[in-house]
Amino acid sequence: MKYRLLGQTGIRVSPYALGTLMFASQMGNDPDESGRIINRALDAGINLIDCADRYGDAEEVVGRALKGRRDEVVLATKVGMPMGEDPNQQGASRRWITRAVEASLRRLGTDHIDIYQLQRPDPATDLEETLSVLTDLVRAGKVRAIGSSTTPPATIVEAQWVAERAGLQRFRVEQPPYSILNRGRERDVLPLAQQYGMGTLAWGPFGQGLLTGRVRKGGENDLLRGQVFRHLTDERRLDAVEQLVPLAEESGLRMTHLAMAFVIAHPGITSALLGPRTMAHLDDLLQGLDVELPDDVLDRIDEIVPPGTDVGTLDQDYQPPAIQEVGLRRRLAADRAAA
């Protein structure tokens, strides 16, 4: 395993990181089997495990699996997504983060978190307020480094400026969505991360399932049954997949290996999160760990999905209030009448 520096943290991590959403028992997985998958990943040299308080009981599953092996792992988790009906059980306020971190520490069975990340931006909370409480957690020894996820480039810059101005800890890690189908972050987020010395943990390297080869245009796809995600039925994304499948075959590669090798080939990406649901999934992915794509294959990918572009829309991507709220993007009839 060739380990990489996580930005300027001094921490070295594997190019493959283990995502844990699928280990939640709510996803239909047996906790004991999930524990075996986690230990198999560690035995293979993967040393970064990424979790979130939002992932059901995944933190507890991870905590049990790491008994006796905690010091081998760079343990990351996230905060910010709604954790109940209480409107204050979410976001990036001091009130919530101070409660949420204690709950994550308890579930993970550890006294510290190596990378504590804000899962989504919280426009309702002042950035200095958020960085202040995260700084306190670092100084208390409960957190080693702080990070963000799915953050717009302007907010990344603002957070760095706020931290410098106020003498606070700065975000050391960004976790953006990045795959062959979602290359928009190549324009701004990845160069910014490099500029500020941030490590990057790419989520969604398989295009949320499309780049596994299991979803094909006009086919009977198990992955689609009961799903309402637009990105799984977006014709533009499916058209791109239909061009990528023969490229993988011509290159003698599985689609999963092509997808992962592409992501970790970018100099702005530190690690890519894989989320195996079964031991077979993990073993398949581990076989592609040493795959390096030659320039001619990367050039072909550039022709199918040009650099810096996204094909269609990824449902789980962050949408700021300026996009979500109608009143922030158009003058409503009442406002026009008053004017």
**How confident is the model over 89-142, as pLDDT tens digits?**
999 999 999 999 999 999 999 999 999 999 999 999 999 999 999 999 999 999
pLDDT at 50: 98
Smallest CA-to-CA distance from 9 within 162, 186, 166, 201 is with 201
Per-domain boundaries in the chain: 4-338
Q: Is 82 exposed, middle or buried (0-12, 13-18, 19+ CB in 10 A)?
A: exposed
Res. 193: pLDDT tops 90: yes
Residue 226 has a pLDDT of 44
Give the 3-state secondary structure of the chain: CCCEECCCCCCEECCEEEECHHHCHHHCCCHHHHHHHHHHHHHCCCCEEECCCCCCCHHHHHHHHCCCCHHHCEEEEEECCCCCCCCCCCCCCHHHHHHHHHHHHHHHCCCCEEEEEECCCCCCCCHHHHHHHHHHHHHCCCEEEEEEECCCHHHHHHHHHHHHHHCCCCCCEEECECCCCECHHHCCHHHHHHHCCCEEEEECCCHHHHHHCCCCCCCCCHHHCCCCCHHHCCHHHHHHHHHHHHHHHHCCCCHHHHHHHHHHHCCCCCEEEECCCCHHHHHHHHCCCCCCCCHHHHHHHHHHCCCCCECCCCCCCCCCHHHHCHHHCCCCHHHHHHC
What CA–CA distance (Å, rounded) separates 219 from 212? 14
Catalytic residues: 55
**Assigned token pair, 36:** 């075996």
Whether residue 337 has pLDDT greater than 80 = no
The 10s digit of each residue's pLDDT in 320-329 is 888 888 888 8
Tell me, rounded to whole angstroms, the distance of Cα 191 from its chain centroid. 17
What average pLDDT is seen over the chain? 93
For the residues 146-158, what does the mean pLDDT come to? 97
- What pLDDT is stored for residue 225 in this prediction? 44
Q: What is the pLDDT of residue 316?
A: 83
pLDDT value at position 320? 86
**What topology is assigned to 4-338 in CATH?**
TIM Barrel (3.20.20)
User: Which pTM value belongs to this model?
Assistant: 0.92
Summarised one tens digit per residue, pLDDT across range 15-52 is 999 999 999 988 888 999 999 999 999 999 999 999 99
User: 331: pLDDT confidence band, cut at 50, 70 and 90?
Assistant: confident
Q: Residue 329: its pLDDT value, please?
A: 85
Whether the pLDDT of residue 219 is over 80: the answer is: no
Give the model's confidence band at 317: pLDDT under 50 very low, under 70 low, under 90 confident, else very high: confident
CB 242 within 8 A of CB 217: yes
pLDDT at 224 over 80: no
- Between residues 241 and 315, the one the model is more confident about: 241
Q: What is the largest CA-CA distance in the chain?
A: 67
Name the range with the highest mean pLDDT among 7-11, 230-234, 335-339: 7-11
- Give percent of the chain with pLDDT exceeding 90: 82
Q: What pLDDT does 176 receive? A: 97
pLDDT of residue 339: 59
